[in-house]
Amino acid sequence: MATRGLRDKNHLQALLAMAEDHCSGSYSDKVKGLYRSQPEDYFDELGNNIMTPQLKDNGGDPLCPINGRLKGVFFGVTLWNGDLPTISPYGDTRVVVPLERLFDDSARLYFADFYCMRGQRDNHYVTLVLTKKGTKADRFCRQNLIPLKKRRNMFLRMKERTYKTLRKNNVWVEVFYTDKVDISGLELDQTDVIGRGRSSGGIPKTFGCDICNV
């Protein structure tokens, strides 16, 4: 098991190097929140306006350490032409959670994956994991993922109450938050939908891509 863990972490370190190389020289956008799009009935059925962590599917890199092992809530953070995207493959209803609610001085940030989906090689995704310090999820991430400096990484960083994320064509940063998220008092917006408008349950990465295959 220890040998496997070392092998997986070496694989992840190589993926991070490829992501940083692909995104080097890119600009940043100032962001205020993490957004999550789902079908309208998802929000109608939330108990007490609480989004609860769900087990990570098998999408992305097959060696991703969080696949089937860590629970969380997925968010997007990448902007489109300086604003929130107007279309989503995940649903027609969106909530935006202020970043300071989830990403403060007590949070820990980790790199988990870099991939392109099968059949969609033009778009690449960087998966980050955001935890609360000292939680069971945080201990798992310390053992299995690559920690990122919260104020000095290119994907999502904080400085006091200002947040910046990567801006690069066809690269999307997603954040997997490992605790419950209370959306009480937050507005729900309508977005256009592309495709089936629901999560696919996980699409494997494209094998043979020279950008994101180790």
Residue 206 inside a domain? The answer is no
Say whether pLDDT at 3 is over 70: no
How far is the C-alpha of 75 from the C-alpha of 71, rounded, in Å? 13
The predicted pLDDT at position 200 comes to 63
Residue 204 inside a domain? The answer is no
Residue 116 inside a domain? The answer is yes
Residue 201 inside a domain? The answer is no
Residue 198 inside a domain? The answer is no
Say whether pLDDT at 118 is over 90: no
Instruction: Report how far apart the first and last C-alpha atoms of the chain are (Å, whole number).
Output: 21
Calculate the alpha carbon distances from 171 to 56, 133, 136, 165, 188 in Å: 21, 28, 30, 11, 25
Task: Note the pLDDT tens digit of each residue in 120-148.
Answer: 778 999 999 999 999 999 999 999 999 99
Give the domain extent around 180. Answer: 2-193
Cβ atoms of 127 and 113 within 8 Å: the answer is yes
Residue 208 inside a domain? The answer is no
Residue 103 inside a domain? The answer is yes
pLDDT tier, 5 (very low <50, low <70, confident <90, very high otherwise): low
pLDDT tier, 196 (very low <50, low <70, confident <90, very high otherwise): low
pLDDT tier, 198 (very low <50, low <70, confident <90, very high otherwise): low
| φ, ψ for residue 81, nearest 5 deg | 55, 40
**Per-residue tokens: 214:** 């180790």
- Based on the structure, what is the number of domains in the chain? 1
- DSSP designation for 204: B
Buried b (16+ CB within 10 A) or exposed e, 114-143: bbbbeeeeeebbbbbbbbbeeeebbebbee
204 or 1, greater pLDDT: 204
Exposure of 129 in the CB half-sphere (CA atoms within 13 A): 29
The predicted pLDDT at position 134 comes to 95
Task: Note the pLDDT tens digit of each residue in 152-190.
Answer: 999 999 988 899 999 999 999 999 999 999 999 999 999
Task: Note the pLDDT tens digit of each residue in 11-51.
Answer: 999 999 999 999 999 999 999 999 999 999 999 999 899 99
Cβ atoms of 189 and 86 within 8 Å: the answer is no
* Angle at 113 (CA atoms; ends 175, 95), nearest 5 degrees: 20
**Per-residue tokens: 171:** 């690269």
The predicted pLDDT at position 169 comes to 94
Residue 214 inside a domain? The answer is no
Sign of CA dihedral 49, 50, 56, 57: negative
Say whether pLDDT at 88 is over 90: yes
The predicted pLDDT at position 38 comes to 96
Buried b (16+ CB within 10 A) or exposed e, 37-52: bbbeebbeebeeeebe
Say whether pLDDT at 2 is over 70: no
Within 69-106, strands assigned E span 71-76, 87-88, 93-98
**Per-residue tokens: 197:** 């408008």
DSSP string, 24-53: TT-EEEEE-EEEEEE-HHHHHT-GGGEEPP
Count Cβ atoms within 10 A of the Cβ of residue 12 and give its class: 0-12 exposed, 13-18 middle, 19 or more buried: buried
